[in-house]
């Protein structure tokens, strides 16, 4: 029995190694262009992974319907990267070495994107992360920019600045900040907000952290209520916002809750978040054709409104393919240069990249009002 099991496992492993060895030459120089999508389809946040995958696949499908890029069809290689370093590295190695992919869209989480970016940079593969906000994704530890790595989202400081400006503009002078100690997206936004808010003359009356697994925020919210802050800054994803906002009402918190683009989701609990504000890349009411088309097509295909993750994955994939088209050849070195110099009309705004490969785009502030998300103010970079 044990020998049989042993031999089955051994056989499987050898077979897959052999497969990879044989598969390699056939894959190179085919008549498709392969793009890998690394998404956390398992692990704690598969819902983000599924959105990201769906957004990216829709972009690829649209290009293919238009005849592909450089006269070739685009083939998507989806891998599960679990929002964790090791599986993400394995997934990246797999798509680069086994599938001979030259372009990667992903990962969602910074903690997975950073190790992937090091591999991509070393092997000369263009990587564009839709949603990883940590500066280390595109910047080496010595401060230089990684040539092959880009991102499609804001980096934290800008959104924090926008919301601080907005809060101050609304005449609010005291703020309470809540942040997830284990999420660099939230941490970065919280820090940027605090800095800008204090610099603009506001006071931060309290700062408390929690973890992504927490569901009971009563201790912190009681403190918030007690501090009588005018703003509760909560720059987390919608799932945490739903929980906190619902409990805040029960704890007598009267502060206006504000946050970042993580709020953008059809699953945001509008009743709980009533009266809240958040910064976003675009407004679904935006009349630009590209936005309207995107929302319509996504709804037609997946039967739900796109959230921020789907939108950014869609944009990232489009940016990448547009850069391949602009470069005129299937060569990562040329594509990275094309991407760095690209100006593209994306759903989340007209995007150009700065020297550190972060997109430059303007932000809007949205408000949750009467059970709807409405446009409140536009703030330029």
Partner 1 sequence: MNPTTPSLVQQVIQKRWLGKAFILLLTLLAAWRIVTALLENPTLFLQQVVNGLQLGFVYALIALGYTMVYGIVRLINFAHGDVFMVGAFVSYYSITRFQLHTWLARLAPGLPEGVVLVIGALTVMAVSMAACAILAIVIERVAYKPLRNAPRISALITAIGVSFFLEYFAALQFVFSPNFITYKRPIQVVTWAISPNGITTLGGGNAPPEGSILFSNIALIIILTSIALMLGLQFIVKQTRIGKAMRTVAYDKQTARLMGINADAIISITFAIGAALAGAAGMLYAIAFPQIFFWMGIIPGLKAFVAAVLGGIGSIPGAFIGALIMGQAEVLSAAYISTPLRDAIAFSILIIVLLVRPTGIFGEPEREKA
Partner 2 sequence: MNKMSKSTLWFLGGSLLVYVVLQTLVSTGLLNSFWNTIIRLGGVMVIVSIGLNLIYGINGQFSLGQWGFYAIGAYAAADVTYRWSVNKSADGLVVLMLATTLSAIAILWLHKRLSKVRGLDSLSAFTIYLTATVLLSALSVQIGMALTPVITSLLTALPAAIAMQIVYLLAVLFSAVLAAEISYLFGLPILALGSDYFGIATLGFTIIVKILLDNSDSLLGFVEMKGARGMVGIPKLTSLFWVFIFIVAVVIVTRNLLRSSYGRAILSVREDEIAAKAMGIDIAEYKVIAFVLGSFFAGLAGGLYAHINGFLHPDTFNFIKSFDPMIVIVFGGLGSITGTVFASFAWALVLEGVLRLFLPEGFETWRFVVYPLLLLIIMLLRPKGILGDFEIPFLRQVLPQPRKKEQNTPAEANA
Q: Which residues bind partner 1 (CB under 8 A)?
A: 42, 44, 46-47, 49-50, 181, 208-211, 213-216, 218-220, 222-223, 225-226, 228, 238-239, 242-243, 246-247, 249-252, 254, 267, 269, 274-275
Tokens 């401060």 correspond to 143
Is there binding between residue 30 and partner 2 (CB under 8 A)? no
Q: Which is nearer to partner 1, 226 or 325 (CB)?
A: 226
Is there binding between residue 199 and partner 2 (CB under 8 A)? no
Please choose which of partner 1, partner 2, none residue 163 contacts, taking the beta carbon within 5 to 8 angstroms, the exact cut-off set by kind: none
Strand order in the sheet with 349-353: 344-346, 349-353, 359-360
Site for partner 2 in 143-182 (CB under 8 A): 181-182
Is there binding between residue 22 and partner 2 (CB under 8 A)? no
φ/ψ (deg, to 5) at 144: -80, 160
Is there binding between residue 141 and partner 2 (CB under 8 A)? yes
Closest CB 84 distance from partner 1, rounded Å: 14
Question: What CA–CA distance (Å, rounded) separates 96 from 90?
Answer: 10
Phi-psi group of 100: left, alpha or beta (phi > 0 → left; psi -120 to 50 → alpha; rest → beta): left
Question: Residue 280: CB partners within 8 Å, gap ≥ 6?
Answer: 261, 263, 264, 308, 363, 364, 365, 366
Is there binding between residue 2 and partner 2 (CB under 8 A)? yes
Candidates 41, 74, 108, 229: give the one binding partner 2 (CB under 8 A). Answer: 41
Closest CA to 273 of 186, 364, 180, 368: 368
Candidates 108, 175, 187, 220: give the one binding partner 2 (CB under 8 A). Answer: 187
Is there binding between residue 19 and partner 2 (CB under 8 A)? yes
Q: Which is nearer to partner 2, 22 or 380 (CB)?
A: 22
Q: Which is nearer to partner 2, 183 or 317 (CB)?
A: 183
Is there binding between residue 142 and partner 2 (CB under 8 A)? yes
List C-alpha distances in Å: 229 to 97, 173, 246, 257.
Answer: 53, 8, 18, 10
Residue 331 DSSP label: -
φ/ψ (deg, to 5) at 190: -65, -45
Question: What CA–CA distance (Å, rounded) separates 179 from 234?
Answer: 6
Closest CB 83 distance from partner 1, rounded Å: 12
Is there binding between residue 96 and partner 2 (CB under 8 A)? yes
Closest CB 196 distance from partner 2, rounded Å: 20
Closest CB 238 distance from partner 1, rounded Å: 7
Beta carbons of 210 and 217 less than 8 angstroms apart = yes
Closest CA to 43 of 116, 108, 95, 104: 108
Beta carbons of 352 and 322 less than 8 angstroms apart = no
Please choose which of partner 1, partner 2, none residue 8 contacts, taking the beta carbon within 5 to 8 angstroms, the exact cut-off set by kind: none
- Give how many residues touch partner 2 by CB under 8 A: 50
Name beta bridge partners: 119: none
φ/ψ (deg, to 5) at 363: -120, 155
Is there binding between residue 89 and partner 2 (CB under 8 A)? yes
Q: Give the range of 88-96, 158-166, 240-248, 258-266 binding partner 2 by CB under 8 A.
A: 88-96
Question: What CA–CA distance (Å, rounded) separates 100 from 61?
Answer: 20
Is there binding between residue 240 and partner 2 (CB under 8 A)? no
φ/ψ (deg, to 5) at 275: 90, 0
Please choose which of partner 1, partner 2, none residue 378 contacts, taking the beta carbon within 5 to 8 angstroms, the exact cut-off set by kind: none
Interface with partner 2 (CB under 8 A)? 1-2, 5-6, 9, 12-13, 16-17, 19-21, 24, 41-42, 46, 50, 78-80, 83-87, 89-91, 93-94, 96-98, 110-111, 114-115, 118-119, 134, 136, 140-142, 181-184, 187, 211
């Amino acid at each position: 029995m044990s020998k049989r099991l042993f031999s089955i496992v051994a056989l499987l492993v050898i077979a897959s190694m052999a497969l990879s060895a044989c598969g390699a030459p056939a894959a190179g120089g085919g008549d498709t262009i392969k793009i890998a999508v690394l998404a956390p389809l398992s692990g704690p946040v598969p819902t983000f992974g599924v959105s990201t995958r769906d957004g990216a696949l829709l972009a690829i499908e649209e290009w293919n319907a238009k005849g592909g890029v450089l006269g070739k069809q685009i083939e998507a290689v989806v891998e599960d990267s679990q929002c964790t370093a090791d599986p993400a590295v394995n997934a990246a190695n797999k798509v680069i070495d086994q599938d001979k992919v030259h372009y990667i869209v992903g990962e969602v989480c910074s903690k997975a994107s950073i190790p992937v970016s090091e591999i991509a940079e070393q092997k000369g593969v263009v990587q564009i992360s839709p949603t990883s906000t940590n500066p280390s994704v595109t910047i080496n530890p010595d401060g230089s920019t990684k040539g092959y790595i880009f991102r499609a989202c804001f980096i934290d400081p800008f959104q924090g600045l926008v919301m601080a400006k907005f809060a101050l503009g609304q005449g609010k002078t005291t703020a309470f900040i809540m942040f997830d100690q284990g999420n660099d997206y939230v941490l970065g936004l919280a820090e940027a907000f605090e800095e800008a808010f204090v610099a603009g003359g506001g006071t931060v009356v309290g700062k408390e952290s929690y973890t992504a697994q927490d569901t009971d925020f009563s201790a912190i919210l009681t403190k918030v209520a007690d501090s009588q802050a005018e703003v509760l800054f909560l720059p987390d994803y919608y799932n945490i916002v739903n929980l906190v906002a619902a409990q805040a009402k029960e704890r007598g918190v009267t502060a206006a809750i504000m946050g970042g683009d993580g709020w953008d989701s059809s699953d945001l609990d509008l009743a709980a978040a009533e009266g809240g504000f958040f910064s976003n890349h675009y407004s679904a009411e935006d009349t630009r054709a590209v936005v309207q088309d995107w929302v319509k097509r996504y709804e037609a295909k997946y039967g739900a409104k796109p959230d921020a993750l789907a939108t950014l994955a869609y944009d990232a994939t489009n940016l990448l393919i547009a850069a391949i088209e602009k470069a005129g050849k299937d060569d990562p070195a040329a594509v990275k240069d094309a991407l760095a110099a690209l100006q593209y009309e994306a759903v989340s705004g007209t995007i150009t990249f700065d020297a550190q490969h972060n997109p430059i785009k303007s932000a809007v502030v949205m408000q949750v009002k009467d059970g709807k998300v409405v446009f409140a103010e536009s703030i330029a970079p």
